[in-house]
Chains A and B, each alone.
Chain A
Amino acid sequence: MDNERKLTIARAMAEATAQEMRIDPRVFVMGEDIADLGGVFGNTRGLAEEFGKERVRDTPISETGFIGAAVGAAQDGMRPVVELMFVDFFGVCFDAIYNLMAKNTYFSGGKFNVPMVLMTSTGGGYSDAGQHSQCLYGSFAHLPGMKVVSPSNAYDAKGLMTAAIRDPNPVIYMYHKGLQGMGWLGTEKGAIVHVPEEPYEVEIGKARIAREGRDVTIVSIAQGVHHGLKAARILQDQGISAEVVDLRSLVPLDRDTIRASVAKTGRLIVVDEDYHSFGVSGEIIATVTETNLADLKAPPRRIAYPDVPIPFARVMEQYCLPNADKIVAAARELCGAVIPA
């Protein structure tokens, strides 16, 4: 379509933030390299030029300090949008995130709100090894008191960012590096979609059916959605109709949409670039088996990152990552298709 305005996730995030900053003086942005550089992953590009370096402030490399500060600013009535450059860096600042940001609303009996957005990059696939490639979705979603979202495309990226900034609660906004549209990280074309110019919200806690199907449900988030869509296209040629559910939000989790899809297809595959055990994939499966076991025609499957630190060597990392081929193989098994030798 000629009137389509296609944006990358990075640009969509920056646009949503800029639009909120224009209408709400409480919104400000801070993090490492987010001002002049526009964010290592492009998601704050243009903000410092428009709003100046008071409202778009580079921080020292001091995550405990500035994330703790964001909590205090949020409690004092501001709406900080803060960047934790790589989610892997949560190791140096989780006290500020989990013991302060996520708990102060509860410990204050709801008297202190902490309306802040913590944006953080996730995901690997580009040989950055295990301190710069994790997803850690489950680690954040496990702990109560913070919402957790992750977009798979630019439309959702903008709407989720707008909703996150306006939310009175802390929101962990996890953006997958492979979807940012930064050439140097590879580009997932499916993430670059039409984005309306005017501000809009994508409701936090509502999943989206990314593709309708009859035979098997593939549930995922962020990059995994694209693996699922690729697999669904391959499966279609093989006579299997796959439905792809894009969760968009882990907290709250849209359990109804997952259950409804599995009620229709009777088969469930969860694709998770986070670690296999004790994580999102197990939670999704429990969501179905706890209440809707009878809907399942086959045992649910998960395609997740094995329980090992993420290796550097390309062949090793690629071996571990979820991909469309793994999903196709699982779907064929579940659907009782003959697997060629």
Chain B
Amino acid sequence: MTPSRNTLGWMYEKMVASRHFEELIEKIYMEGKTPVFNMANGPIPGEMHLSNGQEPVAVGVCAHLTPDDIVTATHRPHHQAIAKGVDLKKMAAEIFGKATGLSGGRGGHMHIFDAEVNFACSGIIAQGMGPAAGAALSRKLQGKPGVAVSFIGEGAANQGAFHETLNLAAVWKLPMIVVVEDNAWGISVAKEASTAIQCNADRAAAYGIPGHYIPGNDPLKIYEVAGEAIARARRGEGPTLIEVETYRLAGHFMGDAEGYRPDGEKDALFAKDPIPNLRRLLVSDHGFTEAELDEIEDKARAEIEEAIAFARQSPDPKPEDALTAVFA
């Protein structure tokens, strides 16, 4: 399965958009946090988990999804949200804690919810898997189309929710895909120190479902494998577990000194940055011109800058609105 030219352009655009979004967030996040780093200060307070480097997973999978399909994401959700089509302005405003945010500032960066495109995320490891299975069950019970994709990290594969939900999805043959973004690190603990087997995709065998491992952070390969899994789920043939080797170019969170990384690891990862790699490939193998790609980049960046400006200019929520929306 090879993406169409349009899809390739879309994938590149969303990867660039996600990266630019995070570049700007990274810069703004540090406002008010120097010279002394205090997480509570600045226009974007709180924890910040950047996803740069992991964009190929988001676009390779979401290229196959419609707004009606369901995605549950993690505490590191920006790339997935952007690829799923979450409203950029409202998402940016939510990250700034503004009244115009998706949730009026109640959730922030770890709780991005956009009902328009069936996107939700949450801050606890493997937590989105159950809801994804339930949404898949909902579609099955209603006889309505739709697949649910749960993105998790490789650290989540050691959680109870991971195993419980895979069993549930398998025994009920739910239209669900679990995508493990293996960025090699659970905060500071390396995968090999936390996980009894090398490849989490092998764990699919325990539940009698297909499991695939995709090395190389390669968006086209991810596109291909995810496409087959999603088509299979749409045919009613049940869930698939996919693990993708990807790279976390930033720390676990902003402020992470990353002392746990071996010397030279970061440089090596940046040398494999998937965005320039894809750009080269689009020119060499897929007939894109440099001018065309520049145009795509400009468009993506402009849209992001507009979203960030919207967030900056938006008003704070009324403090007393904290007391609303607990119940429907």
Contacts and interface: CB of A to CB of B under 8 A. Distances in A.
Interface of A: 25, 28, 54-55, 57, 59-60, 62, 64-78, 80, 92, 95-96, 99-100, 104-113, 115, 144-145, 147, 168-169
A73 B111 CA distance: 18
Interface residues of B, number: 44
9 contacts: A28-B141, A62-B168, A72-B72, A73-B134, A99-B124, A100-B131, A107-B107, A108-B120, A111-B103
Contact of B120 (A65, A75, A80): A75
B133 A112 contact: no
Contact of B104 (A73, A75, A99, A109): A109
B134 A74 contact: yes
Contact of B165 (A65, A78, A106): A65
Contacts of A57: 172
A145 B324 CA distance: 11
B120 A54 contact: no
A77 B138 CA distance: 8
Contacts of B171: 60
Given A72-B134, A72-B135, A108-B103, A64 B164 contact: yes
Max chain A CB contacts within 10 Å: which of B135, B139, B164, B324? B164
B61 interface: no
A68 B133 contact: yes
B292 to A, nearest CB: 37
Contact of B135 (A54, A73, A108): A73
B120 A112 contact: yes
A65 B106 contact: no
Contact of B133 (A28, A69, A74, A104): A69
A105 B327 CA distance: 7
Given A60-B167, A60-B171, A110-B325, A71 B103 contact: no
Contact of A106 (B132, B164, B325): B325
A72 to B, nearest CB: 3
B127 A104 contact: no
Max chain A CB contacts within 10 Å: which of B103, B138, B148, B161? B138
A76 B70 contact: yes
A115 B328 contact: yes
B326 interface: yes
Contacts of B142: 25, 77-78
A140 B172 CA distance: 30
Interface string B15-40: 00000000000000000000000000
A166 B161 CA distance: 29
A112 B129 CA distance: 17
Contact of A65 (B72, B122, B167): B167
Contacts of B187: none
A111 B124 CA distance: 20
A107 B113 contact: yes
Interface string B118-161: 10101010010111111111110110000010000000000011
A54 B172 CA distance: 10
B279 to A, nearest CB: 36
B62 interface: no
A111 B102 contact: yes
Given A106-B326, A109-B325, A64 B160 contact: yes
Contact of A68 (B107, B131, B138): B131
Contacts of A169: 327-328
B141 A68 contact: no
Contacts of B326: 105-106, 144-145
A73 B132 CA distance: 8
B129 to A, nearest CB: 7
Nearest to B171: A60
B115 interface: yes
Nearest to A67: B130
Contacts of B135: 72-73, 75-76
B122 A112 contact: no
Nearest to A96: B130
Contacts of A68: 127, 129-131, 133-134, 161, 165
A208 B127 CA distance: 39
B165 to A, nearest CB: 5
Contacts of B148: 72
Given A72-B136, A80-B134, 4 more contacts: A54-B141, A70-B134, A109-B325, A169-B327
Contacts of A25: 142
Contacts of B103: 106-109, 111
Nearest to B164: A65
A65 B310 CA distance: 39
Contacts of B115: 108, 111-112
B131 A75 contact: yes
B96 to A, nearest CB: 14
B112 to A, nearest CB: 9
Interface in B50-84: 70, 72
B161 A112 contact: no
Contacts of B327: 105, 145, 147, 168-169
